[in-house]
Structure 1
Amino acid sequence: MTAALVAGLLAGYGIAVPVGAVATYLVSLTARTSLRTGVCAALGVATADGLYALLATLGGSALADALRPFTVPLRWASAVVLAALAVWGAVTAVRHYRAQRLATRSAPPPPGPGRAYVALLGITLLNPATVVYFTALVLGTRTADTVPVTAQGVFVLAAFAASASWQVLLAGGGALLGRVLTGHRGRLVTALLSSAVILALAVRMAV
């Protein structure tokens, strides 16, 4: 049981810690909204990681074989979604900046916690690298033909907890960033930088 717990924690942190486009968007979203929204978005990412850990644990090699033909379409879909988010974030930031400078209209309401959760859950589910990672990890570390259901459950929960703790930490960093950069120009610059990074990562994913 302890081995399953440690393996799950390591697996969760292993997939969550590398900062990519989703993590960048999470930090930017929290900086532009609130810690509550950021935490809900972080839990959306962790939920996707937990679901993929569960699927990999239950499906094993059969899941890997089934997903192999869809790896390229999923990667392209993920890249398109991330690129759209990057463009949308940049356009929204510019509009907010102009609206606040001219004071001609109020800014549109930011996404709520529920909407942020669903959005980040969907984005993360589109990432085929997550399921490939967990499947390879489960197959590579499995030493017996049958693994107790309890150990499988501990592994999945530990992976979810590890991913959630890291994503919430990133959301907290985004909240601190939002408090520090209270000026209109500061928020515009950080939003544009974030969009540029996300767009670059999306292009890299598609290539």
Structure 2
Amino acid sequence: MTAAVVAGALAGYGIAVPVGAVGAVLVGLAARTSVRVAAAGALGVASADGVYAVVAVSGGAALAPALAPVAGPLRWASVVALVALATHTAVGGWRRYRTGETPEAEAAPPGPVRAYVSFLGLTLLNPATIVYFTALVVGGTASGAVFALAAFVASASWQLLLAGGGVVLGRVLAGRRGRLGTTLVSSAVIVVLAVRLVLPD
């Protein structure tokens, strides 16, 4: 059991630690909202990783080839969703800056449930996650529910760390210019990371 826990934890951190577009979205959301909303988003990302880990240990070797034909369209769908989100965030941030809206006057931010569902969906769009976990299973380094649970816990701990960092950043840069800066930088990073999903290696 210890070996499965260690393998799952390493696998969870292995997929979670490289901060991609979804991680950048999470940090940006955390900087603009609250700890509860950011934590819910973080758990949405980790839940998707957990789902894919369960799928991998339950028969991912058979599923991975079936996903291959739709991997490209899924990747493009992820890019479109991320770029649309980045554009919406940047335009909204610029509009609030120009009109001088205070945080209290802004439209209500997403609640924890909406944040969880949104990040779960965004992360599930990434077919590379199932391929990653399946490769570990096929390679003999992972198996069983303990592995999947350990992968989820590891991913959750990292995503919650990212969310916490975003909340701290948001509090430090709470003025109008600081909020605009974090919004525009976050949006730009999201677009760059999203485009990299479809560029050749």
Same fold (TM over 0.5): yes
Structure 1 residue 202 displacement after superposition: 1.2
Structure 1 residue 142 displacement after superposition: 4.9
Match of 1:199 among 183, 186, 191: 191
Aligned twin of 2:78? 78
Q: For the residues of structure 1 that align with 2:105 and 2:38, how far apart are their CA atoms? A: 22
Aligned twin of 1:88? 88
Structure possessing the higher radius of gyration over alpha carbons: 1
Q: For the residues of structure 2 that align with 1:142 and 1:168, how far apart are their CA atoms? A: 26
Aligned twin of 1:137? 136
Structure 1 residue 182 displacement after superposition: 1.0
Aligned twin of 1:127? 126
Output the TM-score relative to the length of structure 2: 0.94
Output the TM-score relative to the length of structure 1: 0.92
Structure 1 residue 49 displacement after superposition: 0.2
Q: For the residues of structure 1 that align with 2:169 and 2:95, how far apart are their CA atoms? A: 20
Q: For the residues of structure 2 that align with 1:56 and 1:122, how far apart are their CA atoms? A: 18
RMSD over equivalenced CA pairs, Å: 1.5
Q: Secondary structure at the match of 1:141?
A: coil
Aligned length: 198
Q: For the residues of structure 1 that align with 2:146 and 2:121, how far apart are their CA atoms? A: 24
1:154-192 Cα shifts (integer Å, max 9, x gaps): 101000000000000000001100110010111101110
Q: Does 1:20 align with 2:12?
A: no
1:102-141 Cα shifts (integer Å, max 9, x gaps): x7x9321111111100000000000111111111111112
Q: For the residues of structure 2 that align with 1:96 and 1:9, how far apart are their CA atoms? A: 41
Contact 2:74/2:125, CA 8 A, preserved across alignment: yes
**Correspondence 1:30-109 to 2 at 5 A:** 30-100=30-100, 106-109=105-108
Aligned twin of 1:116? 115
Structure 1 residue 203 displacement after superposition: 1.3
Structure 1 residue 91 displacement after superposition: 0.8
Percent identity between matched residues is 64
Match of 1:179 among 137, 151, 171: 171
Amino acid in structure 2 at the alignment position of 1:121: L
Q: For the residues of structure 2 that align with 1:38 and 1:109, how far apart are their CA atoms? A: 15
Contact 2:39/2:163, CA 8 A, preserved across alignment: yes
Structure 1 residue 66 displacement after superposition: 1.0
Structure 1: 5+ residue stretches without partners: none
Over 4 Å off, 4+ runs: none
1:64-97 Cα shifts (integer Å, max 9, x gaps): 1111111111111111111111101101111221
